[in-house]
Each structure stands twice: as structure tokens, then as C-alpha cells.
Structure 1
Amino acid sequence: MKQLKKKSSAWFMLLTAVVTLVTGCSGGNNASAPATTPAAEATQAPAASETPAAATEAPKEPAANLNGREIRISHWWDATPVGDSEADELARERIKAVEEKYNVKIKYLNTEYWSTAEKLSSSVMASDPFAEIVRLPDGFIWGLMHGGFLTPLDDYLKDSLIDQSVIDSMRFGGDKVYGLESWYSPNDSGVFYNKRIFKEAGLKDPQQLMDEDNWNWNTMLDAAKKLTIDKNGDGKMDQYGLAGAHYVISELLIASNGGKIYDEATQKAVFDSPASMEALNFLHKLYTQDKVFKPNEGNDWEDPAKYFGEGTVAMYPGGLWEIEGRILGKMKDEWGYVYIPKGPQADKYYDPLGQTAAYAIPKGVKDADTIVKIWEDLQPFDSWQENRRLSMENILPDEASIANAMNDEDKVERVFGGRYGGLGVKDQLDKVTEKFLKGEITPSTGVAQVIGTAQAAAKKVLSGEQDKEKK
């Protein structure tokens, strides 16, 4: 299971990183956050009566000259834009402009995923950081941040084009900003639904319910019950309302009710909070009482998407990133995409951000203020929304689904402040939800058994004890 979840998280981070630094296409980090608009796009043009900016603004200071210095940017893949796509061409143009502006040479490093944190910490301790900018894999930022291996960035982001909410999210519950992200997508997860199944049953589909502001846990459950049926009369259900992996559904339901798995501000595991417990009780009910989830046949990660593609389930909660590899070309029926339905405690739709991947500047990197400016100049601030829409148009089936993915009506909000990636918190919760499948345990009993262990796991990472053990 760990391998499967790692695959999901890594892909999600890869897409976000490629978007923000290389391609400018959509995909989003980390990534649980409100939709943001880059300041450059939000700034209005002056009215005709206003004095032109050129006449009132002081001349800008010339860019720093780094005398041909090599600026190394590390990922766990080769991020060099070498393709013939328009996005890669634009990325190459940005790189060339940056190299000329600051008199530098941009070089991309391909650092093995699990070796990144160790390479950063050891090189900082040797007073020779291996890269100027490092994409940190999910979860590693916690230990490095608290261990003093990263450069605080607050002073270098005062006039940044990055939206302030995104900058603040890079504090990871602390006082200082240690990470860099250029933007967060409005949402990255929702519910895929089969239009044929709903139409044949004469039911309003999730999009219609959402248009009526009536898409919530109750209406989803009502539809799931009516669509879980024995079609051939052999005494066995051969169509189900829902499919999914318990460790994915738990996160989505908790967020949709305004709850969290972990609270960055207090550094506490909080999946025992009232809102979170309400979600877990609902999940338990879906599996054991309502029995609207199609049982997986040995592969909790691959089976649900396969069932949806085969047309044997009506609704599949999942991520937008799954479409190209798991739905397109495999789905015979018409389908759509909507948000995760609202929980009883929610006043809007919520999408979680559980992962913690981010760009960071190692402690000891010279000219950190200029390095931040270089990183910003490599970002496609002026085109990310357009590129995301183009990407969504290529993979989503209709205008309503595209509008949902783009959050055109500002109906969904990403959940900042609840990221748990790399802390070991979710692993403990997953042990409980796994037992829901068989009805072996109740949420209250299961959560009581693991909440303390989850908190201890987080404390171990945040205190640096885990890193010391590895050494």
C-alpha cells in the first residue's frame, strides 16, 4: 500500500513542479488551498485620468550580475525543457532571458528522490550546498526546516508576484517562509461520474445537483444507494454507486466536512476532531451499512479506476491527474467531473492539500535574494491560468467539467494548514480505515487506538529524531 500511495503523491508533486518551473501547464502542488490569482494578473490598469506609471515610478535597480555563475536547480527528474511543445519553447525563452539578465547559467540536476534530503543536509554541513534551488520531495521539508538546513525567505519575498496566501502557506505552520511555490490550482480532486448510469436510472446527475446547490453527502448517498443494484437477478450486485480506495476517500471526506487530518499551526494530529470523526463515521457507514462501495479485488489503488472505466460504478472520487492514464481511452460511456460533495459542517466545497513538496534554498547559498528573483523569473505567472485551461480542455469531456476544474464560479477552496505529507500521521489513520472495509472496528475505537501513535510519529519527524536515526 505504501508503494501505491507513494506513486500517487509523487505523480502529484511531479505535475505541480513541472507546471511551476518548466511547462506552465496545470496540475498543482501538494499537493489542500484557496484558488489564487497572481498579483501581476490581479493588478488593474490605471484609469485614463491617472498619471502614467512611467512618469511617477522611480527607475528600477539593475539586476544583480552573478558573473557567469552556474545556478543549479535540483529535481528528482531531469527538468530541462527539451521538447518541441509550445510550453517547452516558452520555458527555454524564460531560461535564456534569466541567463542574460543575471549573467548566469541555468543547470538542472536530476537527484534521486529518496537521496534529496540527505544530499542537501550533508552538503550544507560541509558548507558547500549541492544546488541553489532544490525541489524537496513530499515530507522532507519538515525535518530540514526544523533542523536549520534551509534559508528563511521572508525578506526576499516582500515585492513578490506570488500571491500572499501562497507565500504564507510556505511557512508550514512556523514563523518563517522556507518554501517556494508560484501558485496552487483551484482544486485537484473531485468526483468522476457516469452519465449513462444516472440517465438510465432517471436520476439527477451530480452536475445537476451541484447546479441546484444540492450536491452534498446526503444526495450522493441517495444516488449511490439507488445505483447499487443487481441487474441480472442472480442475487449479486453487479453495479455499484461508488468505487475507491479507503485511504483516498477518508482524506476527501474529512476535508469536505471542513475537517483536517493534521493541523500545521498546532503541530497536532487532529483526525479525532468532531468534523473529522463525522466524516469517518460516514465513511464507515458507506462501507458497512449502506454497502455502496464496490469491493476491490486485491488492488485498492488500481481496481476503482478500472471499475469506473468498465462502467460498473456510477461515481469514482479521484484526482484530475488520473484522467490521462486511467480514464481517457478506457471509458466507453459519457462522463463528467464535479467537486467532492459538501459535508454537514461545510459552507462550500473543499479540496484537501496533504502533500508538502516545495522548492527551497539550502542554508549557505550565496546571494539568496537574487536566487529567489531568478526562480520567480522562471515562473510563467502570466500564463498559468491559460495553460491550465488548455490542459483541462484536452482531457475533460464538457464545458461544465472544465469550469469545475478551473473553479470558474469560485465554489471550491483548497485547504491550507492541514498538510501531513511525510509525518507518518496518515499512515496511522489508514490502519483504521482499512478495517472499515470488513467492519472489524468502529471509527471511535480505531481512532482512539492510533491518534497517540500518529502524534508521536509527527513529533519524531519535527524534532529531527527520525533524521538522527537514519544517520
Structure 2
Amino acid sequence: MKQLKPMLIVFLLAVLMIMTACSGNNGGDTPEVQTPEPEAPVVTQAPTEEPEPAAPDLGGREIRISHWWDATPAGDSEADELARERIKKVEEKYNVKIKYLNTEYWSTSEKLSSSVMANDPFAEIVRLPDGFIWGLMNGGFLMPLEDYLKDTRVAQDVIDSMRFGGEHVYGLESWYNPNDSGMFYNKRIFKEAGLEDPQQLMDKDNWNWTTMLDAAKKLTVDNNGDGKVDQHGLAGAHYVISELLIASNGGRIFDEATKKVVFDSPQAIEALNFEYDLYNTHKVIKENEGNDWEDPAKYFAEGKIAMYPGGIWEIEGRLTDKMQDEWGYVYFPKSPSSSSYSDPIGQTASYVIPKGVKDAEVIVKIWEELQDFDNWESNRQLSLENVLPDETSIANAMNEDGKVQRVFGGRFGGLGVKDQLDSVTGKFVKGEITPSTGVAQVIGPAQAAADKVLSGEIEDKKE
């Protein structure tokens, strides 16, 4: 064997020492160093979105929507333009053609019932006039809709209101306006008398029956000195005033849940007594000259009265371009015992689907997609700006401070109940009868009228 060189011998001895140390380091102080294996790259897969189910194809079917006016959005307003866009999307999505029918108001109920009985509903969606829903609902002519509203943009309280006190939902409504009825007042008359007007009183939370009466008494005067009152504090239809007063005192005319007439309750009687006193004791309400509906608005426009209770929907046809003075709009005053203002819903129109309409679930979806849920509040704001005189009145109508409570569960339209009560309040004007006596006379007939309609009988013409 050849002799190894000295440097190679030193190298081999060093390697031998390292190997010996490593093999004997079980539990020693020097940790064993290991080189980690490289990890495989982690691949994250993007979540897959579930494709939206295809909309049902109704094969080009015509979807007829009935109103008692031509509801076709044919104008050049932004609202009509948006409505046309919604119609186009619905027509393409469901392969349908939307057609609007113009059905005479008083004929709608009979047309719906007769066409259902013939197994050929005249329309898929029907805007049903105030009150007619009761007879059609209880007569079995309408489709229950609650199963089709489980995934909807309609607010739950609106859905529940469409039960009309019963188990099933029979109506479709997008929303309710926050405040539809209140008090119009003449700013000039209050200013000239040096009185706080209703808005100022409302701002102080002091707008109630007492302060309204106080103002009405001070503003019922003889201005020209001829011995005759030529300016009154109030004017109105007795049947409007009674409804607003009862609601503002926490009472109702009819109870949807119990199906009972309740205008003989203590709250209602107190309100009717107050109405009686306004006419007969205080004499602050201007007598109408033959037309209880038209005269009060005319008096207000002419500047002959200081306050006029009514609905916002009246303004365009009855006050716009007719007012001679500055005016405003506030809530209807609350009673001394109430903590909030009230706006009663005595009757309501609604969309219904007649019994026998095919693909009812899809029809509900079509109706919903035709509604302007996203812009209803701004649309109402715009509409109010067109009819109300100032920002404060608009804020009141929008119920921006939330002080007005909508009174659900007391709708009486179409039941014949209010007709009986109105026959009593009509006599208040002349002082011929007291509220308690009059109510006792008509409470029974009013209940009988309601029971007749609720049994399924349908009133198909105006009485």
C-alpha cells in the first residue's frame, strides 16, 4: 500500500470524528439539525357561485293587470321611464306581455266574481277598489297568497295588514304612505290674529284637541261688523271629522280581528261628543251650503276658514291653483289623553289574484318586480314637492320625525258600517240627536251590515 499524504490523513481523521459524534448524540446538548423538505404549494380554488335558477317561461302569455284607470306608463316623467324599464325586464325574463286594463270602478267586483265563476278570470292581477275585498275574500273568489310571499321585499307589517284580520293573505301592497291625512291651515288668518299656528303648537308638542278648539273659537269671528260670522275656525265633512277624531283618541269604528263594530267604545263616544260640541256648543265649524264634500275645501281655498281636515290626495284637484293665501299642512291634533298622532286607515285598495289564475306564484313575482321598491320614498318626496307649499309641510307629510302612527286593523270600507255612523253624525250638524242616543240606534244595524258582507255577499254597485 502506498503511503498516504499527511494532509489527506488529517482530513480523514476529521470526518471520522464528526461521524462518531453524530452517532453518539442521543439526548446530548447539541440538537440535531434537519433540513425541512420543501412544502408543496397550496392551490386555493375560487368558490363557485350557484347559478341563478332560470325564470319560468310562460310562453308569451299575456299578463293582464286591471285598475279603474289606465295605468299604462305612457308619460315622459322619470317615474314612467323607470316603470317602462321594469316592464321590459319582466317581459323578457318571464316571456310574457304586460297589458293594463281600465275597468270601471263599480264594475270591478262583479266582473271579478262572474269571471271566476265561469272559470275564466278576466285578469291575472286586479287592483280592487276600497272595501270590495271583504265580500270577494269571504266568498272564495280570491287566491290566498301567503305561501308565495316567503321571499319578498314587502315589509312584514304590510303583508300582515293584507290578512284583514284573518289567517290568509289576500292582498298585495308595496307600502303604505306614512301620513295621508291631517290638517291644512291658513297662515294669514293665524298671523293676523296674533295666534300661534298649528305648526308652532306642534313644534312645542302642544297640538291637541284643546289647542285646536281654542284657536277655532278665537278665529270664528265677524270681520266686517255686520253681526254675522264671516270667518270660521273649521270646516269639514262631518263623516271625515268623526273618523279622524275617533282615531286620534285611540278608538276604532270596526275591529278587523274580532269582526265587531266598535264605535260605541268609550274612546269613540268621547270623540263623537267632542265633534257634537264643535258643531253645537262652540259653533266653530262653518255650515256647508249643500255639499258636505265639496264645500269645505272651497271655503279653505277662498280664505274663509282657518283649518280644514283632509287628505293629501285631495290637494291637486281641490287646492292647487285655487289657494288665495299662504297655507301649511300638519298632523291631525291628538286627543288630550293620547301620546302620539294617528292616521287611520279606514279603507284600502289592494292588488289581488282571482281564484283560478294559473301560475299564481309566478304572477306574484311578476307583480313584485313591477313595483318600484328602491325609489318609492324619493318618488313620494317628489310628488309632495309638487303639491305642498313648503319644506316643513313636506316633512310632516313624510312623517320624518316618526310621530304619526298608522292605525291598522280597523278598516271598515265596503262593510256598510260607516254609513250607519254617518247617519248619526249627519244629525249632529243640526243638533237633532246626541251621540250616545244615536249610536245606540245604529250599532245593531251596523253590525248586521258587516255580517252580511263578511258572509260572502258582494256589493257590486254604489249605494
Q: How does the TM-score come out when normalised to structure 1?
A: 0.86
Q: Residue 58 of structure 1: CA displacement?
A: 4.9
Q: What corresponds to 1:9 in structure 2? A: none
Residue 199 of structure 1 corresponds to which residue in structure 2?
A: 191
State yes or no: 1:333 paired with 2:325: yes
CA separation in 1, counterparts of 2:231 and 2:129? 39
Structure 2 CA distance for aligned equivalents of residues 58 and 251 of structure 1: 53
Is 1:249 aligned to 2:244, yes or no? no
The answer on whether the counterparts of 2:220 and 2:233 sit within 8 Å (CA) in structure 1 is yes
| 1:85 maps onto 2:77 in alignment | yes
Q: C-alpha separation between the residues in 2 aligned to 1:56 and 1:282? A: 68
Q: Which residue pairs with 2:28 in the alignment?
A: none
The alpha-carbon deviation at position 61 of structure 1 amounts to 2.1
The answer as to 2:285 corresponding to 1:284 is no
Partner letter of residue 304 of structure 1?
Answer: P
Tell me how far 1:101 sits from its aligned partner.
0.8
Letter in 1 for 2:253: I
| Distance change in 2, residues 1:222/1:56 (3 Å) | farther
The structure with higher relative contact order (CA 8 Å, sep 6+) is 1
Q: Cα distance, 1:60 vs. partner?
A: 3.2
| Residue of structure 2 equivalent to 1:411 | 403
TM-align CA RMSD:
1.7
| Distance change >3 Å, CA 58–CA 444, structure 1 → 2 | farther
Counterpart AA for 2:84? R
Counterparts of 2:460 and 2:217 in 1: how far apart (Å)?
51
Question: Does the 8 A contact of 2:158 with 2:173 survive in 1?
Answer: yes
Q: Work out whether residues 192 and 315 of structure 1, in 8 Å CA contact, stay in contact via their aligned partners in 2.
A: yes
Give the alignment partner of residue 162 of structure 2, picking from 170, 179, 196. 170
Aligned-pair distance for 1:467?
A: 5.8
Percent identity of the aligned residues?
79
Bigger radius of gyration, 1 or 2? 2
Post-superposition Cα deviations, 1:281-338, rounded to whole Å, max 9, x if no partner, equal: 0000000000000111111111111111111110011111111121121112111000
> Alignment partner for residue 127 of structure 2, among 131, 135, 150?
135
Aligned partner of 2:179 among 151, 172, 187: 187
Q: Deviations over 1:136-179 (max 9, x none)?
A: 11111111111111110001001110010000000011100000
Q: Partner residue of 1:322?
A: 314
Residues 1:98 and 2:90 are matched in the alignment: yes
Distance change (3 Å), C-alpha of 1:103 and 1:390: same
Which whole-Å deviations, capped at 9, do the CAs of 1:380-438 have from their partners, x for residues lacking one?
00001001001111111111101000011101111111111110000000000000001
Show the 5 A alignment for 1:448-463: 448-463=440-455
C-alpha spacing 1:55/1:300, structure 2 compared with 1 (3 Å): farther
SS at structure 1 position matched to 2:233:
strand
Match of 1:227 in 2: 219
The answer to which structure has the higher helix fraction is: 1
Q: Deviations over 1:70-129 (max 9, x none)?
A: 111111222111122221111111100100011111111122222212221122122221
Looking at structure 2, the residues matched to 328 and 71 of structure 1 have their Cα atoms a distance apart, in angstroms, of 37
Matched residue type, 1:282:
F
CA drift at 1:56 = 9.6
Unaligned runs of 5+ in 2: 1-45
CA contact (8 A) 2:110 2:460 kept: no
> Could you tell me how far apart the structure 1 residues matched to 2:48 and 2:425 are?
61
The answer to which of 226-235 and 56-65 deviates more is 56-65
Q: Which runs of no fewer than 5 residues in structure 1 stay unpaired? A: 1-53
2:144 pairs with 152, 158, 174, which one? 152
Match of 1:66 among 53, 58, 61: 58
Q: 1:314 to 1:468 in 2, by over 3 A?
A: closer
How far apart are residue 465 of structure 1 and its match?
3.9
Q: 1:210 aligns with which of 180, 202, 208?
A: 202
Distance 1:385 1:469, change over 3 A: closer
SS class of match (1:317): strand
Deviations 1:12-62 (A, max 9, x none): xxxxxxxxxxxxxxxxxxxxxxxxxxxxxxxxxxxxxxxxxx979854322
Query: Cα gap change, 1:411/1:59 in structure 2, threshold over 3 Å: closer, same or farther?
Result: farther
Ranges of 4+ aligned residues in structure 1 off by more than 3 Å: 54-60, 465-470
CA contact 1:275–1:345 (8 Å) conserved in 2:
no
Bigger drift between 367-376 and 456-465 goes to 456-465
Q: Figure out how many residues of one structure are paired with residues of the other and give that number.
A: 417
Return 207-216 or 340-349, whichever deviates more. 340-349
